[in-house]
Chains A and B, each alone.
Chain A
Amino acid sequence: MYISILIFCGGFWFVVRILEENKYQNLFSRQQRNLFLFFFLFLEVIMFMKMSQNSFLLWIFVCLLLYFFKKAPLFVEKYYIRNLHQLILMFIDEVVLQMQSGKSLRSSLLSVIKKQQGWFRDQLLEMHNQILSVDRVSVVSIAQIHALKIELIEIDQQNNKCIENLKIYRRFLKMKEDFRRKAYQASAQTTAQMLITSLIYLGLLFFVITQFGFLKNIKIISISFVLMAFSMGLTLYIRKSFKWKL
């Protein structure tokens, strides 16, 4: 019982530390982080009530939760990057509008960046600082933002036809985005299939564990888990195996 209490308190302390890391502060607001903390606490209390007699299972559960919280920012950042093209297009639209109202490129950029929020705003601010210092050498961590930075530096240096050049770049990005959306719709069916089969498998696994026990059927569960993991890997490989012949 004392060990379970120790695991409970230790898990909570680790999650508080993880949520204070830079990755979380860049991606989520204070309210969102508090919500995660509350969610973790809620889950931990339920599992403590169910598993307080079995410290080992409670420890495994807390470790899995901590691992999930540690890796979650990676997936969230990937999701943000996937939608970055649309955000960049909207950003350029606003900059063009500001410039058409009579502002210069730099002041338009700054006023539009100030209106953005969260993760995207931080990325744009980093980019803006490098544009002001005409820094072509430093690489912004995200490829799309880096490409935008290079383009904006060149347009800024040209000093004339800024709006036309920005519109040409916007047309170029729009074509890329249209194509990307079409290709994404094609791969969406494989994603949907993977999600549905994973959910069915997890449901079945939960049923088998609750009805027949986990340790009694550990061989069967391990073999089916390995087969399922292999099939997911193969599905991902098939999805990413497309190579342009053009």
Chain B
Amino acid sequence: METLAPPLELLLQVKKSIEQGLPIKKGIQKYLELSKGSFPADLMRWLSLLQQGQSTESLKNSIPSLHRRILLNVLERGLCGEAIYQHLCQLEVEFLEASTGEIDKYIGRLPFLMLIPMLLIQFPALLFLLFGPLLQNLFHSFARQ
């Protein structure tokens, strides 16, 4: 959670490359060099299919996230020579909003998720530690009587 969302990071990396006067492919390669996970693996497959001149539709359709599919479409157009900087700027705003929304949703669920270990395990452990010796002494005194 403390990293950027993968498509947002890729978008920012490509946008930075364009601003620095470098080709789009350089930005994609730098992202692949510095990132790990399922999205970089999909991106690598997508790039190699593109370089071989094969269709990338089936790969893109297998990606569940709509944002990632849209980004790959835009990057494909960019690699074919189209100017995509304005599109990337617009997508950046969308992606930032979507990332913030996802984090806010998770923050909303977190207190309820944290109740599970606290109520079911930690609280009994504390009670057990506190009352266990007392009950043990009580049972021993009953047994002696």
Contact = CB atoms under 8 A, between A and B. Distances in A.
Contacts, number: 133
A179 B96 CA distance: 9
Interface stretch (B40-48, B74-82, B127-135): B127-135
Given A179-B99, A242-B1, A246-B65, A234 B121 contact: yes
Contact of B21 (A146, A161, A201, A223): A161
A168 B16 contact: yes
Nearest to A205: B129
Interface residues on B, range: 35 or more
Contacts of A155: 20
Contacts of B20: 155, 158, 161, 164-165, 168
Contacts of B106: 186, 242
A64 interface: no
Given A184-B2, A190-B114, A234-B117, A246 B95 contact: yes
Contacts of B124: 227
Interface in B42-74: 64-65, 67-68
A14 interface: no
B93 interface: no
A175 B12 contact: yes
A123 interface: no
A227 B128 contact: yes
B143 interface: no
B144 to A, nearest CB: 15
B6 A220 contact: no
Nearest to A234: B117
Interface residues of A, number: 51
A34 interface: no
Interface string A115-127: 0000000000000
B102 A204 contact: no
B129 A220 contact: yes
A180 interface: yes
A217 B133 contact: yes
Given A193-B114, A204-B130, A227 B125 contact: yes
A183 B125 contact: no
A193 B133 contact: no
10 contacts: A158-B21, A182-B100, A183-B1, A187-B2, A200-B126, A208-B129, A227-B122, A228-B125, A234-B117, A244-B6
Interface of A: 143, 146-147, 150, 154-155, 158, 161, 164-165, 168-169, 172, 175-176, 179-180, 182-184, 186-187, 189-190, 193, 197, 200-201, 204-205, 208, 211-212, 216-217, 220-221, 223-225, 227-228, 230-231, 234-235, 238, 242, 244-246
Q: Which 4 A-B pairs have the closest CB atoms?
A: A220-B132, A227-B125, A231-B121, A212-B133
Given A147-B34, A244-B102, A246-B6, 7 more contacts: A155-B20, A201-B125, A223-B125, A231-B118, A231-B122, A246-B5, A246-B98
